[in-house]
C-alpha cells in the first residue's frame, strides 16, 4: 500500500505541474503559520522514519530471523521513502510558490482513503471532487486552512502528512 502512495506522489507531482492554476480559489498567505507547522511535522516524520529504517538495517544484518526482519525492514524502508517523497513535494511547492496547483483526479482515491482514515468520511467506491471538497472543508476547518472550491495538490500533501503522523512507529 505504501508503495502505491509513493507512485501516487510522483504521478501527483507530474500531473500537478502540468495542471493549470486554479482560478477563483486562493490559498491565502494567512495560512503561512499552518504551512510552517506542516513543514516541521513532515520533516520530523521523515527524520523519525529514517532513524527507524536505519535501526532496523543494523539489527537485521545481525539477526538470525531473516524473514521476519526482512519484512519489518522493507516496511520501514517504504515508510521512509513515502515520508521523504511527501517532504520533497512540500518543498517543491514552496520553492515554486505553486500552492494553487490542481490535484490530478487520478489521485482522488488516495486522498479519499487518507481522509477516511483521518475520520473525514468520503465514499470510496467512486471518489468525486464534490465528495472530496466536502471532506476537505471539514478537515480545513479543523486545521486552520481556508476553504476552497478546488482540490489542490497542497491539500493532498498536508492531508498525507496527517495520515503519516498516524503511522508513527
Q: Whole-prediction pTM value? A: 0.77
> Domain for residue 23, yes or no?
no
* Residue 22's pLDDT band (cuts 50, 70, 90): very low
How many independent structural domains does the chain possess? 1
Q: Is residue 88 part of a domain?
A: yes
Is 119 within the bounds of a domain? yes
Residue 139 corresponds to which cell in the numbers above?
478537515
* Tens digit of each residue's pLDDT (9 = 90 or more) over 119-168: 998 877 788 899 899 999 999 999 988 888 899 999 999 999 999 998 87
Specify if 111 maps to a domain. yes
Q: Using N-to-C axis directions, what is the helix angle for 66-95 and 153-166, rounded to 10°?
A: 150
The parent domain of residue 90 ranges over: 2-7+31-166
Q: Does 123 map to a domain?
A: yes
The CA distance from 125 to 113, in Å, is 10
Please tell me the distance from the alpha carbon of residue 122 to that of residue 128, in angstroms, as a whole number.
9
CA angle 159, 128, 142 (to 5 degrees): 35
Is 116 inside a domain boundary? yes
Query: Which segments of 16-156 are extended strands (E)?
Result: none
The answer to whether position 60 is within a domain reads yes
Q: Report yes or no on 15 lying in a domain.
A: no
- CA distance between the termini of the chain: 16
Amino acid at each position: 500500500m505504501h508503495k502505491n502512495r509513493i507512485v501516487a506522489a510522483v504521478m501527483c507531482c507530474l500531473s500537478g505541474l502540468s495542471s493549470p492554476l486554479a482560478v477563483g480559489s486562493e490559498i491565502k498567505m494567512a495560512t503561512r503559520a499552518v504551512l510552517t507547522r506542516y513543514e516541521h511535522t513532515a520533516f520530523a516524520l521523515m527524520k523519525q522514519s529514517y532513524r527507524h529504517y536505519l535501526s532496523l538495517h543494523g539489527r537485521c544484518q545481525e539477526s538470525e530471523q531473516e524473514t521476519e526482519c526482512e519484512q519489518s525492514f522493507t516496511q520501514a524502508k517504504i515508510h521512509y521513502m513515502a515520508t521523504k517523497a511527501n517532504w520533497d513535494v512540500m518543498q517543491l511547492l514552496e520553492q515554486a510558490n505553486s500552492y494553487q496547483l490542481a490535484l490530478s483526479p487520478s489521485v482522488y482515491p488516495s486522498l479519499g482513503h487518507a481522509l477516511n482514515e483521518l475520520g473525514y468520511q468520503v465514499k470510496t467506491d467512486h471518489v468525486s471532487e464534490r465528495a472530496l471538497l466536502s471532506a476537505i472543508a471539514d478537515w480545513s476547518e479543523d486545521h486552520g486552512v481556508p476553504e476552497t472550491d478546488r482540490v489542490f495538490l497542497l491539500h493532498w500533501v498536508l492531508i498525507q502528512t496527517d495520515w503519516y503522523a498516524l503511522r508513527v512507529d
